[in-house]
Structure 1
Amino acid sequence: MTFTSLSERLENYYFSIKRNRWHWLFQLGCRILLAYAFIVAGMVKILGERFASGLSVIHPMGSYLEALHHTGYYYTFIGVAQVLAAILLLFPRTVLMGALVYLPIIVNIWVLSYAVRFVGSYVTSPLMVLANLYILAWHYDKLKYILPFNRYSKEVSLPKLEKYDKKLPFLFFLGVVGMMVFTVLFSRFGHEVMPQNSLKSCNAQFENTANQTAGYEFCECVHTSGNPLDVCIETFENSKIKH
């Protein structure tokens, strides 16, 4: 199969998706949920409040947010960017621009959440990235003109349809549910240790386990001593019972 024929088949599949009401409702739901999340998070920063203020300043994510809170107008700038991206997502004429602004911000949050194993956004941030990518894919008919493709079709954008195909894309929604389940399971079982948001919740994951002592030491390392997460993980790995 040549690249051209594959491109044509993918484009035809894309056009079939654009004609489906269920896909239209899904992208609309993604836009609303993403916009809501960034309006809430952005307004906290614009009002000068520390995000996740209940998180200890010696927690890996808490120390980052505390330092970020003291960056002055940079902190406000992030909030403005989040609210701007959210507002752009809500209007059909500006949704593509909103998704493009949204993407680097949410990818940064996702990588940060995974780097410090922050349970507060460990599940939501990757799902938000996927939702944002879906919105970008929904606007492929416009976006493709800035992509490095050698061949373009004549359509610039598809007009709004008067009548949509109402066939339920069962496999697509099954994939969406599967991805959500995988993300939740990975957040639960993807790492042997998680710092959690408090000493109590951190200790709870080690209760009545073979590595209870090493686990409690890990939690003390994070929540009491305030050591870097990498150091605490290394200490745990050296102290736990090897199977």
Structure 2
Amino acid sequence: MKILVKLDELHAHVRANKWMRYFTTFIRLALVAGFLPAGYVKIIGERFTDLHNNQPMGHYLEALHHTGYYYTFIGYAQILAALLLLIPRTVVLGVLLYLPIILNICILSFAVRFEGSLLTAPLMVIACIYLLCWHYDRIKYIFPFTQPLVSPLPQNNKFPIRFFALVFAIFLAVGFTVMNMYKIVPRNTLSDCETQCDDSDNPEACKVFCESIHNNGQDLDKSLKIYEQALKNKRR
């Protein structure tokens, strides 16, 4: 129970800081901006990007575009989540709808190594988790524990330097991780893909990978196997 009391006290302390409230509003608006355009494109029935079908993410989005009302349903879900985030009384409901959608996009981005959302998707997931923590006082009642009562604290105008330093560190850590977690990625076009070959340990094997993706239309796993085989052949 002491842990719950400490959590409530910490939450009350954070909620009382005006800079934290400003930051939370910024996070909400940023998430709204991330889903409104994406949802609108799906509702009007347009393809989400101009990636060609041979590119792994482009292949997925093309198939998704042809799913009919399921594609439109995703658009309405994104718009609804964004609108719920705009209304203070429905923020928690909006986050609970937003989080599984963006988590799916995040995992998809990692699965197909799509650089377009390798950074933004995990940051948006973290932003959703932050909003859930911010509204801890609303969601804590779903846990099977006796909840202590903590009175609201007066407004605190002190700038939370440590918190924003932590936010900056998380941004750098996520950015560094996603930029270095893969030796090779398909990128959006053949020319973009081949730009990474100059810095590759084996430029020819890299070009084989890019051509396998963008010219031959092979899926990512098969193209990676072709790339690994090209590396082995080069070493012999």
Scaled by the length of structure 1, what TM-score is found? 0.91
Q: Deviations over 1:190-233 (max 9, x none)?
A: 11001111111110001154310000001011111111101111
Q: Report how far residue 151 of structure 1 moved.
A: 2.1
Q: How does 1:53-64 map to 2 (within 5 A)?
A: 54-64=50-60
Q: Which residue of 1 aligns with 2:190?
A: 199
For 1:213 and 1:104, the matched residues in 2 are separated by 40
Q: Deviations over 1:77-108 (max 9, x none)?
A: 00000000000000111111111110110000
Q: Which residue of 1 aligns with 2:149?
A: 154
Pick aligned residue for 1:82 from 60, 78, 81: 78
Q: What code does the residue aligned with 1:221 have?
A: S
For 1:74 and 1:153, the matched residues in 2 are separated by 44
- After TM superposition, what 4+ stretches of structure 1 lie above 4 angstroms from structure 2? none
**Higher RCO (C-alpha under 8 Å, 6+ residues apart):** 2
1:47 aligns with 2:50: no
Q: Report how far residue 181 of structure 1 moved.
A: 1.1
Taking only the aligned residue pairs, the percentage that are identical comes to 44
1:5 aligns with 2:25: no
How many residues get paired?
233
1:31 aligns with 2:22: no
Pick aligned residue for 1:124 from 106, 120, 123: 120
RMSD between superposed Cα atoms in Å: 1.6
Q: Which residue of 2 aligns with 1:177?
A: 168
Q: What code does the residue aligned with 2:160 have?
A: P
Note if contact 2:36-2:79 (Cα within 8 Å) is conserved in structure 1: yes
1:235 aligns with 2:226: yes
For 1:208 and 1:107, the matched residues in 2 are separated by 32
Q: What code does the residue aligned with 2:212 have?
A: C
Q: Tell me, which stretches of 5 or more residues in structure 1 are unaligned?
A: none
For 2:115 and 2:126, the matched residues in 1 are separated by 18
**Larger helix fraction of residues:** 2
Shift of the 239–19 alpha-carbon distance from structure 1 to 2, 3 Å rule, reads same
Q: Deviations over 1:15-70 (max 9, x none)?
A: 10010111111110010010111001000000100011x20111110010000001
Pick aligned residue for 1:134 from 127, 130, 133: 130
